[in-house]
Amino acid sequence: MVVVMQEGATEEEVQYVINRLMGMGFDIHRSTGARHTVLGAVGAKVDFDTRDIELLGGVEEVLRITAPYKLASRHFRPEGTIVTLGRGIAIGGEELVVMAGPCSVESAEQIDTIAASVAASGARILRGGAFKPRTSPYSFQGIGQQGLQLLRQAGDKHNLSVVSEVMDHTQIPQMIDYVDMLQVGARNMQNYNLLKELGKVAKPVLLKRGISATIEELLLSAEYIMAGGNYNVVLCERGIRTFDSYLRNTLDIAAIPVIKKLSHLPIVVDPSHGTGLRDKVAPMARAAVAAGADGLLIEVHNDPEKALSDGAQSLFPEQFEKLMKELRVIAPAVSRRL
Ligand code: PEP
Ligand code: MN
């Protein structure tokens, strides 16, 4: 349930409502917006009568939310959420935020070369996996902890924030000092132990949609993180498995406006995993921006043909540079800037 307080409701009125709801057994998550205070009440009883709250002083509206997620719902923060990462980076605002880099961190030289080129093209966040969730146990598994150090160094050198994937909750302590944002991969979207632990972390989380996950399941996974107290969640559409087998995945562009309506959380798009083929990445990136995405996650490699993972879907630096130029033309048409 979401309680929207009237504009100008007094602190006493807000506290009175909070106390009443807590007395009824609800957990309260308060959001103070520019004009309205909004209270998210979690743990609703089935026989609860919303009128008991509606008639309290200072209450504007009580919304019983039929969706099973509450904190991730648009009702909770109608104005939308902006997730900040330092270096002036804000995801969900007017600026489109592009995260780019290799699938995997491979060596100091590789990550430094790629960081230099994506930074020069206008990316704000450097991506790179150190712990890799590979479909086959015989595929390259990432270089681990050393990869995080190299990612951090390259990010700092080229004024980029960094994001890397956490595969298991036991990896959080060894990652937390190296990354600005923790990525939950598609395969781990429903790793509930991991999501619960990320709820306690003071860093933003990039939550990727599971390979066969519905939008509601994605939002429920975000809810797990938020219920633990971490509201800095950025969603990522990265393609889902459908009956079509031509591409690696089917990128669900329509998920962008759907999620924008259902949730206040920012949503970015990963056209690299979404298509699996380099020549399909730019068209889908352009479409994602036109459809209202808050940013992009794109694989770029200085020598994709020799990449240790996902070379076929990684852009050459020149292709990334060209794409960024195109996006700068599209962005203003949808009231964004890059
Ligand atoms: C990745 O971004 O490197 C990755 C493994 O993506 P996904 O979890 O979407 O497959
Ligand atoms: Mn990859």
> How many angstroms separate the alpha carbon of residue 129 from the centre of ligand 2?
8
Query: Which of 99, 103, 114 for mutating ligand 1's site (highest number of atoms within 8 Å of CB)?
Result: 103
pLDDT for position 224: 97
Query: Which of 103, 111, 267, 273 for mutating ligand 1's site (highest number of atoms within 8 Å of CB)?
Result: 273
The structural domain count of the chain equals 2
Which atom of ligand 1 is least distant from the CA of 129?
Answer: 3
> Is residue 318 one of the residues assigned to a domain?
yes
> How many angstroms separate the alpha carbon of residue 126 from the centre of ligand 1?
14
**Shortest-distance ligand to the CA of residue 207:** 1
Residue 17's Cβ-count burial label (10 Å; 0-12, 13-18, 19+) is buried
Q: pLDDT tens-digit profile of 110-122?
A: 999 999 999 999 9
Co-location of 158 and 278 in the same domain: yes
For residue 273, the surrounding DSSP H or E stretch is helix 271-275
pLDDT in tens, the chain (338 residues): 899 999 999 999 999 999 999 998 899 999 988 899 999 998 756 567 889 999 999 999 999 876 779 999 999 999 999 999 999 999 999 999 999 999 999 999 999 999 999 999 999 999 999 999 899 999 999 999 999 999 999 999 999 999 999 999 999 999 999 999 999 999 999 999 999 999 999 999 999 999 999 999 999 999 999 999 999 999 999 999 999 999 999 999 999 999 999 999 999 999 999 999 999 999 999 999 999 999 999 999 999 999 999 999 999 999 999 999 999 999 999 999 99
> Is residue 152 one of the residues assigned to a domain?
yes
> How many angstroms separate the alpha carbon of residue 104 from the centre of ligand 2?
7
> How many angstroms separate the alpha carbon of residue 191 from the centre of ligand 2?
19
CATH number (domain holding residue 320): 3.20.20.70
Does the model's pTM come out above 0.85?
A: yes
- At residue 301's C-alpha, the angle toward residues 324 and 288, to 5°, is 40
Co-location of 139 and 188 in the same domain: yes
pLDDT for position 44: 59
Q: pLDDT tens-digit profile of 238-297?
A: 999 999 999 999 999 999 999 999 999 999 999 999 999 999 999 999 999 999 999 999
Which atom of ligand 1 is least distant from the CA of 238?
Answer: 9
Co-location of 47 and 109 in the same domain: no
> How many angstroms separate the alpha carbon of residue 302 from the centre of ligand 2?
15
Query: Which of 105, 106, 143, 208 for mutating ligand 1's site (highest number of atoms within 8 Å of CB)?
Result: 208
> Is residue 77 one of the residues assigned to a domain?
no
HSE of 42, CA atoms in CB hemisphere, 13 A:
17
pLDDT for position 64: 81
Close Cβ partners of 145 (under 8 Å, ≥ 6 residues apart):
130, 174
Co-location of 20 and 87 in the same domain: no
> Is residue 296 one of the residues assigned to a domain?
yes
Q: Domain range for residue 306?
A: 83-334
Which atom of ligand 1 is least distant from the CA of 239?
Answer: 9
Nearest protein Cα to ligand 1, atom 10:
186
- At residue 155's C-alpha, the angle toward residues 152 and 156, to 5°, is 85
> How many angstroms separate the alpha carbon of residue 129 from the centre of ligand 1?
9
CB atoms within 10 A of CB 57: 13
Query: Which of 182, 238, 313 for mutating ligand 1's site (highest number of atoms within 8 Å of CB)?
Result: 238
> Is residue 72 one of the residues assigned to a domain?
no
Q: What is the DSSP letter of 218?
A: H
Contact 254, 226 (CB under 8 A): no
- Paired sense of beta strands 125-127 and 181-184, if any: unpaired
Which atom of ligand 1 is least distant from the CA of 270?
Answer: 9
Co-location of 156 and 289 in the same domain: yes
Co-location of 44 and 111 in the same domain: no
Co-location of 185 and 295 in the same domain: yes
CATH number (domain holding residue 58): 3.30.70.1140
> How many angstroms separate the alpha carbon of residue 107 from the centre of ligand 2?
16
Ligand 1 lining (C-beta closer than 6 Å): 103, 129, 133, 165, 185-187, 208, 238, 273
> Is residue 32 one of the residues assigned to a domain?
yes
> Is residue 73 one of the residues assigned to a domain?
no
232-256 residues labelled b (16+ CB within 10 A) or e (exposed): bbbbbbbbbeeeeeebbbbbbbebb
> Is residue 41 one of the residues assigned to a domain?
yes
